[in-house]
Structure 1
Amino acid sequence: MAPPGEDLILHETTLTAQYGMSRTPIRQILQRLAYERLVETKSGVGTVVVAMAEDNRNRDLVTHRGILQAVLLHQLPPLTIAQHSDILALAGMASMLEDEDRDLHYDLRNRMHALLAEVIPDPILRDTFSASFWRVVRWHMQDLASDKKGAAETLRNLIRHIAGYTPRDSTDLFRCVIDGELAPAGI
């Protein structure tokens, strides 16, 4: 993870060497990131991570809220016992979160994404949710760089709030995400 404000250029050859993969899967990953507007490929330069503009933060959060509300328009399946257990495990992990542990911040967000995306029945909405979710994660990681204690407390509170959902009710889970993620930001 690059620190916020630092330009990060991703070169295929470097990535293939770093991860021991051929160029084809690396290209597919970069294409997916470009599709989600997280990177931009520039001819002769490489793939550049798209910078976050503070002026867009509110827009990004409002968009994310709208996408979460669109998810609630669908008939969502009940969560399995395994999915419910994963939510409880997230809460346990979050309770042990140390403020400066960037990797655990990211891991918690990544696990939360996997849990939520798995429940969304419409593949187009799922992709839209994912793109928006990762933008929110980038805002969180940027906040973490400037205010470790505040960002960690925000994440702990979010996961605590999510874990308080009505067990196995995925609709209530998404409502808790909206309330826990966006209400504190005034969105």
Structure 2
Amino acid sequence: MASGVTIGSDGEARKPAATEIHDLLRDRICLLEYRPGAMLRENDIAGEFNVSRTPVREALQRLSIEGLVEVRNGIGTFVTTLDQEQLREVFGIRVEMSRLFGRIDTREVTAADVAILEALLTRSRVLMDKFDVHEHWRINHRLHFAISDLVLNKTFLEMWHNLYFRAARVWYDVSRDIWPEAVGLLQLEINDLLTAARENDIEAIGYVKRNYINFCWKRIASRQRS
């Protein structure tokens, strides 16, 4: 849990802003530290971060817009649940959006982009010996934003991020049970993305994402049927 303060660029302790609170709450939801259906109490969160309820309320409102929490008037704020049909729709849209890579505004892949992917591949290899769901999350999280950074279309990115986080918590729940396969898929994905990135082939990057989104959905759907 957070300590309630962060350190600014000047080295001074400061209270976290609404954006920082949002990001941490989002990560907790994706890692199932807040389970579907759990109530998020403004007072408790404000007390943890030593802030007023205003930035907490802003963070929860953003999570609500993203579909990760539901505000029930007069009752409270709850982590949303996703049934199999909703999940199928989320993954289906993600697959279709990945087909648009290379057809919308993007930038060229740089040596720095390739270096990020190479570093993530190195980090992922450690997971095969000792699985850590938090490190698995951090690698996937960084990978998502590294690839997303190639896209310049802000409208696309808003939906792309939204759907990623809606799907993430389900995948990380499944990955705990199939972690050798989940880590193997992650390593294969990064390898394939590296091949496409080194060729500066944005469309190929999209096809790689499409394939691995499909792979993840098949594992999730199979687990839910069993």
Do the structures match in fold with TM over 0.5? yes
User: Is residue 72–residue 171 contact of structure 1 (8 Å, CA) maintained in 2?
Assistant: yes
**Out of 4, 27, 32, which is 2:62 matched to?**
32
CA distance in structure 1 between the partners assigned to 2:143 and 2:52 by the alignment: 29
2:136 aligned residue? 105
Unaligned runs of 5+ in 2: 1-30, 219-226
Deviations 1:109-154 (A, max 9, x none): 2112221222221111110000111123122112124433333333
3-state secondary structure, aligned to 1:41: strand
CA distance in structure 1 between the partners assigned to 2:197 and 2:150 by the alignment: 15
Change (3 A) 1:5 1:79: same
Change (3 A) 1:100 1:80: same
1:172 aligned residue? 204
Please identify the structure whose Cα radius of gyration is greater.
Answer: 2
Question: What does residue range 102-141 of structure 1 map to in structure 2 within 5 Å?
Answer: 102-141=133-172
Change (3 A) 1:182 1:72: farther
2:214 aligned residue? 182
Deviates more, 1:117-126 or 1:151-160: 151-160
Deviations 1:147-173 (A, max 9, x none): 333333333332233233241443332
- Give the CA deviation at 1:74: 0.8
CA distance in structure 2 between the partners assigned to 1:162 and 1:137 by the alignment: 19
TM-score normalised over the length of structure 1: 0.84
1:155 aligned residue? 186
Report % sequence identity: 18
CA distance in structure 2 between the partners assigned to 1:44 and 1:16 by the alignment: 19
Change (3 A) 1:103 1:16: same
1:61 aligned residue? 91
3-state secondary structure, aligned to 2:187: helix
Deviations 1:31-87 (A, max 9, x none): 221111111111233221111213333322111111222343213210232222111
For 1:50, the aligned partner's letter is: T
Unaligned runs of 5+ in 1: none
Change (3 A) 1:10 1:122: same
For 2:184, the aligned partner's letter is: E
**Out of 84, 93, 105, which is 2:114 matched to?**
84
Aligned length: 186
- Give the CA deviation at 1:5: 6.0
3-state secondary structure, aligned to 2:196: coil
1:93 aligned residue? 123
3-state secondary structure, aligned to 2:127: coil
Q: CA RMSD, aligned part only?
A: 2.5
3-state secondary structure, aligned to 2:71: strand
